[in-house]
Each structure stands twice: as C-alpha cells, then as structure tokens.
Amino acid sequence: MPDVSMTVNGRAVRGTAEGRTLLVEYLREHLHLTGTHVGCDTTQCGACVVHVDGLAVKSCTMLVLECEGSAVTTIEGLAPHGGSLHPMQAAFREHHALQCGYCTSGMVMMAVDIARRLDEPDEATIREELKGNICRCTGYHNIVTAIVAGAKAMAAERE
Amino acid sequence: MDNQTQNPDLHPPAAEGPSVGRPVRRLEDERLLRGGSRYVSDLIATSDALRVKILRSPHAHARILAVGATAARAMPGVVAVLTADDLAGVGALPCDWQAPGMIAVPLHPVLARDRARYVGEPIAAVAAESAHAAEDALAAIAVSYEVLLAVAEQEAAIEPGAAQLHDALPNNIGYQFRREGGDVERAFAEAEVVVRRRLTNNRVAPSPLEGRVVLSEFDPVSGRLVHHTASQLPHPHARSLGACLGLPLHKLRLVAPDIGGGFGAKLCFYAEDVICAFLSMRTGRPCAWSEGRGESFLATTHGRDHIQYAEIAASRDGRITGFRSRLLADIGAYAIGMGPGVPAINTGFSVSGPYNIPNVATEVVGVFTNRTPTGPYRGAGHPEATFLLERMVDELARELAMDPAEVRRVNFVSPSAMPHRMPTGWTLDSGDYAANLDAALELAGYRALRARQAALRAEGRFLGIGVATFSESSGVGPSIGMGSVGFRRAGHESARVVVHADGSATVFSGTMSTGQGHATSLAQVAADVLGLAPDEVEVVEGDTEAVPFGTGTFNSRSMAIGGTAVYEAARKLLDKARKIAAHKLQRRPADLTFEDGVFRPSDGLGVIPAAAHIGKKVEDKVVHAVFRRRMGMDLPPSDREAGTVTFADVAREAHLGHDLPMGMAPGLDETDFFDPVDMPSAYGTHIAVVEVDPETGQVALLRHVVVDDCGRIINPLLVEGQLHGGAAQGVGQALMEAMVHGMGGEPMVGSFEEYAMPRAADLPSFETGHTEVPTKLNPLGAKGVGEGATIGATPAVVNAVLDALAALGVTEVAMPMTPMHVWRAIERAREARGTKGGGDA
C-alpha cells in the first residue's frame, strides 16, 4: 500500500493507505478523528467538510493520497484542547445552531471558510454559500444567525 | 385511547422555576462542537468490527429461484455470508402497530426467502474484514430471479386483477378501518354547500442526516450481546431483537448513543439489527453496518403517501356541518413497525382537527404495494389529516368567497367547550385557537398582506397567502388506550433520578433524544425541583442496562410524558430529602421551606438572621476560592448557616447514613413511571407567503409565520429550534421532496441529487410566536412541540400557492409543487379557458 504523509491539526502524520481510501475514511478510521461525519455518498451533504491547506473541501471527495504533503484541519483542530471555543463554535452554541449535531462539524468548518473569504457576509449571501451543506434539523434559521454572529466575532478578533 | 378522563383539575400546573421557561444554552453542545460526538458510526470507526454489507433486491416484485453464495464465501477477507437458509429459527421483524381489523399481517422477513417484494429488500448479507472486501463479495453472490408484475401505487393495487403481494390479502387490502360520529348522511343531505376533492399526499423520505447504523458485539464466553444502534426506542427495540433471536433480555444490552436525527425513521425495527447481531453471535466478532445514503432511500421507512377523497358540508355562513373522507394509505410491501396503525388511528381519529364538526366519517384503507414500507414521519398521521382538512377548509372558503382565516375562526372549538370530545372519540383537552390565530394574523400583518396581494395582482404578479391551523394529539399514552387500538407499546415513560453524595444528580430517562436537546431540557426539569443548576444534572438515555424500562421518543411525547416522569421522580426524591433535613433540624417536614438549595424552617425560628451571617458567608467564599485554586476542587458545602440545611448536606447524610430518621433506607434514588390519562392537544397557526412566477412555475417562499402553542414552555430556545426545523420539513414536502417510483415500482430516487432536501437558500428566516395554554393532563403543563410545525407548514404553503394561482383558474397542483407541476397546472388552466399563452416549451 502507498505511503502518505501530511499534517493534521498541526501534527505530522505518516501512514499507508489503499489507493481507494477517501480522506474522510483516513481521518476517521486511521487517525480516529471521528468529529468529521459522513451523511451521503455523493458529495451532496457537506457533513464531512474539513480544511485542506486553508480551503474548505468535502473530505469524502478527496482520496487521502491526494493530500500528500498537505495541512489538514478538522473540527477537532479548530480550537485548542482545553481552551475556549473558536468564535464560530461559540456562536453556534449561543444561537442554538445545532440539534442532532451530525452536520455540525461540516457546517462550522464551512462557516469559518465563509467568514475568512467574505469577512462579514449578509444573510442572503450566507444562505447561498451554504448550498453544499444540508441540515435536516434546524431549518438553517439559527445556523445563518450563528454564522452572522460568528463572522462578526472573527472580524473583531482580527482587528 | 378512548378512555378519556375529563377532570380539569387533574394536575394543577407546577410553579415556574429558576431554569424552566428560560433559554438555557444546551449542555451537550460543547462536546458536539469540538468533534466529541459518539454516534454509532464513531464507535465503529475506532473498532475492529467486521463490516457488514447487504445485498438487496433490484426488483420490485420477483420470485427468488436461487441464491448462490459459494463464490462469495471463498473471497479474501470474507468471514461469513448469510442467506435466508442460514436464518432458520430467526423470527420475522415485528409489526408493533397493527390496525384494528387487519385480515392478515404480512411480516417483513429478515432476509427474503422465496419472493422479494420491493426494491431494496435484503436478500443476503456479507461480513468481512473490511468494508471494501464486503462490497467486493456482494458482487459475487449470484441470485436468479423470476420477475413478477408489480403494483406501484395504491389505486392500481386494489383494481381487480392487479398483481397480488401476499396470498392472504386479496386485492392487496390490509384493512378497511372506519370511524364515524354524528349523522353524516343527514349532514350532507341537508348541507347548503358541499365541496369535493381528490388529493394526494406525497411519499417522502425522512432523511435524518445520519443513516441507520449498527454495531453488535456478542461475547461468546458470557453469552451477552451488547448492541449499539441508532434507535428512537431503545427498550422496545431490545425486546424486538431478543424476540427475533431468542435471546433473553438480561443477556442483551441495547445502547443508543448520540443519534443524528430520527424523525420517525428510527422508530421501526429493521432487518440489519438482526443481521448484525446474528453475525456477531455466529462469528464471535463484533459486526458493524452503516447505511449508505442510497440504501437509506430504499430500505428505511418512507412517510405519508395517501390518496385522499374528501367531502366537506357547510352552511352558507361558513359553519362546517359534516366531513367525510376515504383515504387510501400505502403501507408498502410489508407490515413493519408502526406502518399500518399510523394512518388508521392517527389520521382516522384526528380528521376534524381544531374544529367543532359534529358529523364526521372516515374510512382508511391500508393498501400493500411493491414499494418500501411506510412508517411514521414527523407528525405521523397528523400531517396527513391536517393537509386533508386544511385543503378542504380553504376550498370551502373559496366556494363561499369568505376569508380563509374567518372560516377557520367560526368553526373553532371554543376554550369554554374544552375538553371537547371529537366525533371520532379523541379529545381536545385545552386551547384557545382563536387567540392563536389572531396572534399569527397580527405577526404576519395579514390585512396589509391582502392589500399588497391585490396591488401586485394589478401589476400582473401573483402573491399567495396561505393559512393553516392544526391540532395534534401529542404525547401518546395512556398504555391502556394504546392497547385498545392495537398499538403494542407502552404509553408510559420512566425516569430514575439519583442524587450523588456531593449533591449533584443523574437523570435516567426512557426517552431518546435524536437532537431535541433532552440533556438540557430534562436537566432543567430536575434541576428546578432539586434546587440545582442545570449543569449539575447529567441526563442518561439510550442504555437498556442503565435506564429503567421506558418507551422512547415519538409523537412529541418526551417532555409531556418523559419530562413528567423526571419531575415526579425528582419530587419523590425531594420529599425524602426534606424528611432528612427535618430530622437534622428537629422540625416537621411540612414546616420547612426549600429555596435556592436550602431547607429552612418556614417560621424562621432557629435561623441566624442574614445580617449577622454576612461575615461568615464572605469568609466561606474566600476559603472556597483559595481551596479551589490550590486543589482544583470545591470544599464540601457546609451548613454554616445555623438552623438551616443545604441540599448537599442532605445528600451527604443520605449516603453516609450516620443520622437518618428511624427506619429510613439510605440513598437518594427514586424512580417514576408516568402513564398519562390522555394526550394533550398541541396546536398552532401557520401563515405562508409565496410569489409564483407564472412563466416558469417557480414558487418563492417569501415569509413563513408560525405561532405555536405547546403548553408550558420548558426552554424557549429549544422550542424555537423545533419550530424552525419542523417547518422546514413541512415546506420540503410541499415544494420539493418526493420519493418517485416508476410504473414497475422502481425507485427513481437514490441520492440527494434526486431527492430535493431543502437547503438554506430555499427557505426564509422563520417568524415565530407563541401562545401558552398549559395542559392539565400533566403537572408540567407541557404539550408536544417536535412535530407541530411540520404538521402546519405543509398545508399553509400549499394553500398559499393555490391562493396565488386562483386568479389563473388553477384549482389543484399536486405536491411537491415543483416548477414543473406548477407550470403544467397553469398551462392546463389556460388551455381549459382557451387562453393559451406563449409559454410553450
């Protein structure tokens, strides 16, 4: 089996994987980072969004071998262990933007990406930007509210 | 559920507490937000379990001539292959809600033996060292089929000469359930106005984002099975699994950890649970199966799917005098889970909604077809009844040229007439429907909306305003009533409350959160009784070894029934704590008050006045802070306030047992089973505002207003969340979602590419409000809230679209109201009026 090495949540990782192993499978089953979830098998739902080299990607759509040498951040790496929540995570909690929690890590990783790219987008823009993320529980109302607030908090932190 | 007790003073509502009624932020969120979830799939990812894959029927109806598994068994990594021949002695999947009067109950086999009856039915299973190896082996299983004619729709299924699914069920009719009250014949004979319609309620897929998932671990040495599964009903499903496998329940522990949404789909007990457990018992290894999304569309129960014939009779002033309906409900290929009972009972009994309709007749025909079995989906029968009724009320309003809100108002059961026994036999326990409607009309700015609609129509634009009201018999029970309608489940719910030696508490509840936030809301209920903060209470659900026998979560019952059990258990526990406190203070229990976690004599005698005590309190605080910084923990609370006893003191005493009242057993550990006398009726009003583009058929949902009444609100934040998510699902059914099948029963939907789940840009922000009429059927005053918004949203949106299109002569658009359906309806109406426009495509 081919070798693969990358940085995951700031930690150097080296291993072997079958060629057909998806990034999400590698994260969950090899590295046991189970915060990233799988909600479909056709790249529709976005539950598996992580950051690869700073960009949001659906980790069910990349083979792990494509990530050779990349820096991957998952939900577990967003806020330091034992430290306070990332502003976007905190906004999701404050605004009740999660119910079952299954889509949540993908939503938060996507939301961070949206806020980084667009600074402080309005609600309509956020709704468009979320076209690749499905939530069955919240009707998106509180997710959109949380992203507005989280993006604002991230902007304040940058200043 | 006929045996209503109508005692209005049954339960005086409990007092509001420090956390009940407040938007407490969820205690479970931080863990979920940091990626610390414990879904069954997370447990599988870190286990060495064999991976199980299922071979499914590609045919809607076929005779199975042979299943050849020899080649698959020899493949690398394959540990076991199961076919029906391997399952001798394994029982079929149970149907726990058989409609009254069913002629025969065709049960779903674990693996099909001679015949497959829907696309997706399990035929064989493989357990292998990896998912890839199991998948490869599936391709090597050779099945020869003789394809049979299939029936793909309920009206075709009952035609003479239609293909028959089950030998014992001629014409594919499982039951014909009738419910009648009043004199319906006479009401229609004497009616000034009668409106008739044929409606369809589309088949949809519940689609929780987490599919079904199982990890079964059998220990051959002890003979114990630990079975992890995404189940809304841990205890009933343990019983089902035990029955299928002949495994006694003391050797079976069923664990449902985090669950990624349910919506009814995880109420059914499915083949894959039995397959994984059986394979684990056979191989001695843990066995795991995760449902792919494509599998989910085939093999997890669907919801709704009625063809509805309805007639409404009324007088010219809008008063409804009669309602008659015949509903053809598609049960799918087998009677499984709650499938047959949902349309018969939940729809059949609730067709008159919040209205005082004296004469009602309903006939529900349960029909078997070659499609995936149906089951409860958020609202379970109530959305079907409400859609039927609310469509007909709107048609009546149009016929009479009355405002749809006014037609509803004149027919509401009035608060003074509560509790109101409906002609079908169910009871509306409490509510003020007119006040709720008024709140919604005001929130929507209804009058201004109508003016805006008229102005836009003058510009050739088509705004539609849709109103729907609903009532839902939520919080199902009592047990005796469920038994009387063939529902083989308990109607009670359990709770065990344990206070630990330091005064913190654990609540064990038979309910099962699939995202509703029980870890917070049930903690609030217990915390207020025990004088604790919600985060001093841990809620444990979904473990049959830890939690006393309970029923589970469905029919919006968790708070009304489960929450009440928590409340009652906590009260019992507080009674005991009070006795211990009284013993310590040498007072009578009744002479003590309990406030902010402290027992005090109500006459104040023996208590050191607060002013004299301030120095000590400050000193205490400083000592605690220093100790905490050094040791990372708190000092045990002390009763420095002489003449009072804290709850934590009592907890310590209860565990030490050094000085308990004579004869009292140590410990603070109480259990309650709450079995209600009836179902509280939740209700609400939805107002949807849409604009329809007549050239493309595109519907834009501009606004959606929900005013809900779920009785006493425990946590407004969570209630809002339920309204948003529930409404989104109702909107989805109205505008986007459909499980479509071809003429041969072949599913045309296999992924989220074909199944249109509502996305963020498809929905507006919801505008919500509340009225709060507590029920007297439980001491919390709580009614259900999980399903209400789904029930109300679908007809409100449909009524809005039809309101927009009425000006174009359109009278019917089938759900989902996709651009194609809407555009075709507009074109048909134009053709019918001979004014066909240029929109040819």
**Tens digit of each residue's pLDDT (9 = 90 or more) over B314-352:** 999 999 999 999 999 999 999 999 999 999 999 999 999
* CA distance readout (Å), B722 to A132, A136, B736, B787: 23, 11, 20, 8
Q: Is A142 on the interface with B (CB under 8 A)?
A: yes
CATH number of A147's domain = 1.10.150.120
**Among candidate residues A54, A77, A100, the one where a domain is terminated:** A77
Do A91 and A65 belong together in one domain?
no
- Tell me if the domain spanning B42-148+212-290 has CATH number 3.40.50.300: no
CB contact under 8 A, B759 and A131: yes
- Above 60 in pLDDT, residue A80? yes
Selected for mutation to probe chain B from A86, A89, A96, A142 (highest B CB count within 10 Å) is: A96
Contacts of A75 in chain B (CB under 8 A): 33-35
Here the tokens at position B178 are: 């009738």
Q: Using CB atoms and an 8 Å cut-off, which of residues 103-122 of chain B contact chain A?
A: none
Do A106 and A52 belong together in one domain?
no
- Above 50 in pLDDT, residue B258? yes
To the nearest whole Å, the CA of A37 is away from the closest chain B CA by 8
- Computed over every residue of chain A, the mean pLDDT equals 97
CA dist., res. B405 & res. B392, Å (int): 13
Contacts of A45 in chain B (CB under 8 A): 209, 293, 752
Selected for mutation to probe chain A from B25, B26, B31, B33 (highest A CB count within 10 Å) is: B33
State the pairing for strand pair B427-428/B420-421. antiparallel
CA dist., res. B576 & res. B596, Å (int): 17
Q: How large is the ipTM? A: 0.98
To the nearest whole Å, the CA of A69 is away from the closest chain B CA by 24
Q: How do residues B562-581 score in pLDDT, each as one tens digit? A: 999 999 999 999 999 999 99
- Above 70 in pLDDT, residue B254? yes
Do A109 and A65 belong together in one domain?
no
Contacts of B558 in chain A (CB under 8 A): none
| Strand, coil or helix: B834 | coil
CB contact under 8 A, A41 and B720: no
Provide mean pLDDT across the span A75-85: 94
Q: Is B293 on the interface with A (CB under 8 A)?
A: yes
Q: Using CB atoms and an 8 Å cut-off, which of residues 707-736 of chain B contact chain A?
A: 717-718, 720-721, 724-729
For residue A82, being part of any structural domain is answered with no
- Given pLDDT bands bounded at 50, 70 and 90, which one contains residue B633? low
Residue ranges of domains in chain B: 42-148+212-290, 303-477+678-832
To the nearest whole Å, the CA of A121 is away from the closest chain B CA by 14
Contacts of A136 in chain B (CB under 8 A): 207-209, 261, 263, 725, 729, 757
Name which of B210, B751, B758 is nearest A42 (Cβ-Cβ).
Answer: B751
CB contact under 8 A, B752 and A143: no
Q: Is A92 on the interface with B (CB under 8 A)?
A: yes
Name which of B34, B45, B760 is nearest A29 (Cβ-Cβ).
Answer: B45
φ/ψ region of B144 (left if φ > 0, alpha if ψ in -120 to 50, else beta) reads beta
Contact yes or no for B553/B514 (Cβ under 8 A): yes
CA dist., res. B506 & res. A14, Å (int): 42
To the nearest whole Å, the CA of A19 is away from the closest chain B CA by 12
The neighbour count for residue A19, using CB atoms within 10 Å, is 9
- Above 70 in pLDDT, residue B634? no
Residue of A nearest to B761 (CA): A127
Contacts of A17 in chain B (CB under 8 A): none
To the nearest whole Å, the CA of B763 is away from the closest chain A CA by 8
Q: Using CB atoms and an 8 Å cut-off, which of residues 5-34 of chain A contact chain B?
A: 18, 20, 28-29, 32-34
Do A94 and A43 belong together in one domain?
no
For residue A153, being part of any structural domain is answered with yes
Contacts of A33 in chain B (CB under 8 A): 35
Provide mean pLDDT across the span B60-73: 98
- DSSP structure string for chain A: --EEEEEETTEEEEEE--TT-BHHHIIIIIS--TTS----SSS-S-TTEEEETTEEEETTSSBGGGGTT-EEE-GGGTS-TTSPPPHHHHHHHHTT--SS-TTHHHHHHHHHHHHHHHSS--HHHHHHHGGG---SSSTTHHHHHHHHHHHHHHHHHH-
Contacts of B35 in chain A (CB under 8 A): 33-36, 74-76, 105
- CB contact set of B716 (below 8 Å; sequence gap of 6+): B21, B22, B23, B770
Q: Is A59 on the interface with B (CB under 8 A)?
A: no
Q: Is B759 on the interface with A (CB under 8 A)?
A: yes
Residue of B nearest to A140 (CA): B760
Residue B17: per-residue pLDDT: 75
Q: How do residues B682-740 score in pLDDT, each as one tens digit? A: 999 999 999 999 999 999 999 999 999 999 999 999 999 999 999 999 999 999 999 99
Do A32 and A94 belong together in one domain?
no
Contact yes or no for B347/B308 (Cβ under 8 A): no
For residue A36, being part of any structural domain is answered with yes
CB contact under 8 A, B761 and A20: no
Beta partners for residue B97, in sequence order? B487
Contact yes or no for B489/B96 (Cβ under 8 A): yes
Contacts of A131 in chain B (CB under 8 A): 759-761
- Computed over every residue of chain B, the mean pLDDT equals 94
- Above 60 in pLDDT, residue B56? yes
Provide mean pLDDT across the span B114-126: 98
Residue B477: per-residue pLDDT: 87
Residue B604: per-residue pLDDT: 76
Q: How do residues A112-148 score in pLDDT, each as one tens digit? A: 999 999 999 999 999 999 999 999 999 999 999 999 9
Do A46 and A21 belong together in one domain?
yes
Q: Is B260 on the interface with A (CB under 8 A)?
A: yes
- Above 80 in pLDDT, residue B516? yes
B303-477+678-832: CATH topology is Aldehyde Oxidoreductase; domain 4 (3.30.365)
Residue B244: per-residue pLDDT: 97
Provide mean pLDDT across the span B750-761: 97
Residue B616: per-residue pLDDT: 52
Q: Is B691 on the interface with A (CB under 8 A)?
A: no
- For residue B499, give the H/E element and its range: strand B493-499
Q: Is A47 on the interface with B (CB under 8 A)?
A: yes
Residue B4: per-residue pLDDT: 36
Q: How do residues B401-419 score in pLDDT, each as one tens digit? A: 999 999 999 999 999 999 9
Provide mean pLDDT across the span B69-75: 98
CB contact under 8 A, A20 and B132: yes
**Among candidate residues A45, A77, A109, the one where a domain is terminated:** A77
Backbone angles phi, psi at B827, to 5 degrees: -65, -45
CB contact under 8 A, A35 and B210: no
Contacts of A35 in chain B (CB under 8 A): 34-37
Stretch among B88-92, B269-273, B529-533, B601-605 having the lowest mean pLDDT: B601-605
To the nearest whole Å, the CA of B69 is away from the closest chain A CA by 26
CA dist., res. B684 & res. B793, Å (int): 10
Q: How do residues B185-216 score in pLDDT, each as one tens digit? A: 999 999 999 999 999 999 999 999 999 999 99
CB contact under 8 A, B724 and A130: no
Q: How do residues B300-319 score in pLDDT, each as one tens digit? A: 999 999 999 999 999 999 99
CB contact under 8 A, B35 and A34: yes
Query: pTM (2 decimals)?
Result: 0.94
CA dist., res. B207 & res. B200, Å (int): 21
* 3-state SS string for B389-440: HHHHHHHHHHHHCCCHHHHHHHHECCHHHCCEECCCCCEECCCCHHHHHHHH
Residue B632: per-residue pLDDT: 63
CA dist., res. B248 & res. B351, Å (int): 41
For residue A150, being part of any structural domain is answered with yes
- Above 90 in pLDDT, residue B607? no
- CB contact set of B658 (below 8 Å; sequence gap of 6+): none
Is the preceding peptide bond at B478 cis, omega within 30 degrees of 0?
yes
Name which of A78, A100, A144 is nearest B515 (Cβ-Cβ).
Answer: A100
CATH number of A14's domain = 3.10.20.30
Contacts of B209 in chain A (CB under 8 A): 37, 39, 45, 47, 100, 102-103, 134-137
Do A17 and A70 belong together in one domain?
yes
The one-letter amino acid code at A25 reads E
- Above 60 in pLDDT, residue B837? no
CA dist., res. B97 & res. B338, Å (int): 5
Portion of chain B with pLDDT greater than 90, in percent: 90
Do A54 and A103 belong together in one domain?
no
Provide mean pLDDT across the span B445-473: 97
Residue B741: per-residue pLDDT: 96
Q: Is A73 on the interface with B (CB under 8 A)?
A: no
- For residue B181, give the H/E element and its range: strand B173-181
Q: Is A100 on the interface with B (CB under 8 A)?
A: yes
- Above 90 in pLDDT, residue B771? yes
**Among candidate residues A15, A43, A77, the one where a domain is terminated:** A77
Domain span holding position A15: 3-77
Do A12 and A64 belong together in one domain?
yes
CB contact under 8 A, A45 and B261: no
Q: How many domains does chain A have?
A: 2
How many interface pairs between A and B have CB atoms less than 8 angstroms apart?
184
CA dist., res. B358 & res. B365, Å (int): 23
Q: Is B15 on the interface with A (CB under 8 A)?
A: no
- Above 90 in pLDDT, residue B10? no
Q: How do residues B275-302 score in pLDDT, each as one tens digit? A: 999 999 999 999 999 999 999 999 999 9
Contacts of A103 in chain B (CB under 8 A): 209
Residue B639: per-residue pLDDT: 45
Residue B181: per-residue pLDDT: 97
Residue B613: per-residue pLDDT: 52
Q: How do residues B129-174 score in pLDDT, each as one tens digit? A: 999 999 999 999 999 999 999 999 999 999 999 999 999 999 999 9
